[in-house]
Structure 1
Amino acid sequence: MKNKNIFLIAGIALCAVVLAGAFMFNSSSTLDQFQPIVTDPLAKAKEFNSQNALDFSKTICSLGPRYGGNDAEIKAADNMETEFKNNGINAYKEKVDLGNGKYTYNVIGEIKGSESPEKYIIIGSHIDSPGFCEGATDDAAAMGIQTEMARVFSTGYKPKQTVLIVGFGGEEMWFKGSDAFVKGHPEVVKNCEAMIDLNCVGAGKQVSLIGHSNQPKPVNGDPKLIDLMKQCAKQLGYSAVTGTTTYPSDTYPFYYNNDKVPVLQVMSQPFEVAPWSSANTFDKLNSKDMNKIGQTVTMTVLNLTE
């Protein structure tokens, strides 16, 4: 009888241990699903590697001028989509009509939000270049920064909102790609909490946060985004200043939609090489400048989505 009682008690104890372990496993798995992994945005931002960004920028520059839906622009879009996927995030292309039978693409990389997936943070650049140059700073360097951000974000990062990393086609043709995106995705735009656009980066003295541009109509950078990015740059040891420029790039359609998305154009200024110049070639890009922009924007997005 004693032996039976001992075996019965031991069996009950074993079952309790197994059930407790299963409960703990399921609970921790569920919690991990919803708890953000990034506890140190500064350390995460420093995972950004400018060499990876430069390598992709070089690939884009080697295609030559990317303009008006030519073969180089289409190939650049294909390369961007592939690089997003290789770096671990969901990606797809959307066709953009340029008129007269011509077309290009927007390329969208997506990291789904864990708590508010219907809310959006957008990081933009443009895929095309002026029609006579390879456009290293305008805007191949930005594409390289975006693909490297995708790599950094693909592990250990669960944003509360959905993050979209977008390469817009047809920017040089008065923002065709971003205009098509705004018109084609009204719900995204309505629920967009920030649109940060990288334009003319990778070869300049400072991180320049554009407070005002004036053509074709005035666009003002969001003061809260400017303040946050300055704080992030300072923590990283970089200088960020408020600047001005002539053209607003792809912030324009977002700024002038009915929902008034908070926008901020980010540039490297003063320019080491004029963006609209045949001298704007890959060899002008600077690793330190790429890191300044890449790490600062990465840390800003981490803070916006924590």
Structure 2
Amino acid sequence: MKIKLFPTIIFTFLFSFLAISQNPTKDSIMLKKLYNTALTDGKAYEWLDYLSNEIGGRLSGSVEAEYAVKYTEAQLNELGLDKVWLQPVMVPKWTRGFKEYAYIEGSSGIKTVTHISALGGSIPTPNLGLKAEVIEVHSFDELAALGKEKIEGKIVFFNRPMNPEFIHTGYAYGGASDQRFSGAEHAAKFGAVGVIVRSLSHKMDDAPHTGAMSYGSTPESKYIPAAAISTNGAELLSSLLKLDPNLKFYFKQNCKIWDDVLSYNVIGEIKGSVYPDRYMVVGGHLDSWDNGDGSHDDGAGVTQSMEVLRLFKKLNYKPKHTIRVVLFMNEENGLRGGRKYAEEIKSKNEKHVFALESDSGGFTPRGFSLETDAANVAQIRSWAPLFEPYFIHLFTEGYSGADIRPMKGNIDVLAGLQPDSQRYFDIHHSENDTFDKINKRELELGAATMASLMYLMDTYGAK
């Protein structure tokens, strides 16, 4: 039996060795050039500085989003790409209005001001604000168990924290985000007059974290206002409720839902030298929330993606496939840009073989999450030795990215850059997401890591 297996073992070993790279020396040299150029002559940090500090938060439908479209289009044109264009897409427009205000009022009449942020897509409170008793819950099942009798006329306070046991904080975020997105829809069914949701962050501070919400199938006449409360505020409210179950919560927000408006995905490409009709995409989302300047979410991903094509041009690399950078509009509160791109390539019957997204912040890169079949996972993992000098070690199967995922089923490989996640949700969707939280070197390492995977996929193709 051992003798019969011996040839198989030899074949497997040789295949694995060859699969590492068809030309490991050449590939190693190319990766070294990509990293060296990004670290010594990069543009991502400069581009991000302008997006963050000159334009600022870029909520879909805003003037700032329009400025961002024009700025990135101009920068891509300066790179001398083969083609740069704008892809029209209708996007939702929601405005925050004047800053929100909230306080907790005890039975004694003492008021304690707390920090809130309207959730994207919420309606406003009445002009004079909204005050009501509060009922705290931690799940939709708990909400349903209480029923209309105990909920009607009250503000529902969703207070389920992110699970600290998850090392990958994205899993913790996913385990708590349903209450933010669908909390108002569920609470309205039982006659609640408003919703307050604990901010999705491990960090204890006074900065509320906004994010998208939906009323689902709720009739418009039954919409109720929804806001996020800071983690410190959530802890305080929960503690005071234990002492005074009849306390009241007041909040006022002035947001407004408008009709959809025209915006654009920004696209640039380098034409393939061998397979011009086979496409590879790298991208991030151009829009951001308005309470910070969107440096990590997702200005970092935008400028890293632009940098991939700039590095190829700088090093005079001629890709085999046509490589596109796509800066998607409206990921945060609608995903219209990602869906539009996927619909259009399908209608044009364009063959896409690979897409890479950066939308997890500009922190130190650790690797990639992959959505593909076993053969492509094996091929990408076989390149791990090429990435080891740069401390890139994660090649896991998992979620790739929101904007490229609509292409799933019509593409061979989807991949998401995975930076270190420990600090990301400290700032995500909050006033803390600002340019001063960006480390230039970490941002550049991420861009070089993306360019390296794009180079290898272009060189050896998908399986």
Q: TM-score range by the shorter chain?
A: 0.7 to 0.9
Match of 1:83 among 75, 81, 87: 75
Deviations 1:109-143 (A, max 9, x none): 10000111010110011001123221111111122
Across the aligned residues of Structure 1 and Structure 2, the Cα RMSD in angstroms comes to 2.8
The equivalent of 1:52 in structure 2 is 43
The question of whether the paired residues in 1 share the 8 Å contact of 2:308 and 2:447 is answered with yes
Residue 85 (structure 2) pairs with residue 92 (structure 1)? yes
> SS at the partner of 2:38?
coil
Give the TM-score normalised by structure 1: 0.75
TM-score (normalised: structure 2): 0.51
**2:432 aligns to what?**
279
SS state of the match for residue 332, structure 2? helix
The alpha-carbon deviation at position 270 of structure 1 amounts to 2.0
SS of the aligned residue for 2:355 comes to: strand
CA distance in 1, matches of 2:48, 2:80: 18
Aligned to 1:158: 318
The separation in 2 between residues aligned to 1:51 and 1:270, in whole angstroms, is 23
Higher helix share: 1
> For structure 1, which runs of at least 5 residues remain unmatched after alignment?
1-37, 213-218
User: Which residue number corresponds to residue 277 of structure 2?
Assistant: 118
| Amino acid in the other structure paired with 2:443 | M
Structure 1's consecutive aligned runs of 4 or more residues displaced over 3 angstroms after TM superposition are 187-190, 219-222, 228-232, 242-248
Task: Name the structure 1 match of 2:225.
Answer: none
1:114 counterpart SS class: coil
Letter in 2 for 1:65: G
For the pair 1:41 / 2:19, whether they are aligned, the reply is: no
Residues 211-269 of structure 1 show CA distances to partners (whole Å, capped at 9, x for unaligned) of 58xxxxxx9996257526744432x42233256988932132112xx424421111322
Q: What is the alpha-carbon distance in structure 2 between the residues aligned to residue 174 and residue 261 of structure 1? A: 25
Looking at CA atoms only, which structure, 1 or 2, has the larger radius of gyration?
Answer: 2
Superposed, 1:23-38 pairs within 5 Å as none
Report SS of the residue matched to 1:158.
coil
- AA at the equivalent of 1:173: N
Residues 1:267 and 2:403 are matched in the alignment = no
Residues 212-291 of structure 1 mapped to structure 2, 5 A cutoff: 223-224=377-378, 227=381, 230-234=384-388, 236-242=389-395, 248-255=401-408, 258-274=409-425, 275-291=428-444
Note if contact 1:41-1:303 (Cα within 8 Å) is conserved in structure 2: no
Post-superposition offset of 1:188 = 6.6
Shift of 1:280: 1.1
Q: Contact between 1:209 and 1:226, CA under 8 Å: does it hold in 2? A: no
- Give secondary structure in 2 for the equivalent of 1:292: helix
Counterpart-to-counterpart distance in 2, 1:58 and 1:229: 33
CA contact (8 A) 1:127 1:169 kept: yes
Q: CA separation in 2, counterparts of 1:276 and 1:201?
A: 11
2:265 pairs, out of 87, 106, 109, with 106
Separation in structure 2 between the aligned mates of residue 228 and residue 177 of structure 1, nearest angstrom: 33
- Secondary structure of the corresponding residue to residue 284 of structure 2: strand
In structure 2, do the counterparts of structure 1 residues 192 and 181 end up closer, same or farther at CA, with 3 Å as the change threshold? same
How far apart, in 2, do the equivalents of 1:98 and 1:111 lie?
A: 28
Deviates more, 1:78-87 or 1:224-233: 224-233
Checking the alignment, whether the CA contact within 8 Å between 1:88 and 1:150 is kept in structure 2 is no
- Determine whether 1:72 maps to 2:223: no
- Give the 3 Å change call, closer, same or farther, for CA 160–211 of structure 1 in structure 2: closer
CA contact (8 A) 2:330 2:336 kept: yes
Distance in 1 of aligned mates of 2:383 and 2:348: 23
1:241–1:211 distance in 2 versus 1, CA, 3 Å:
same
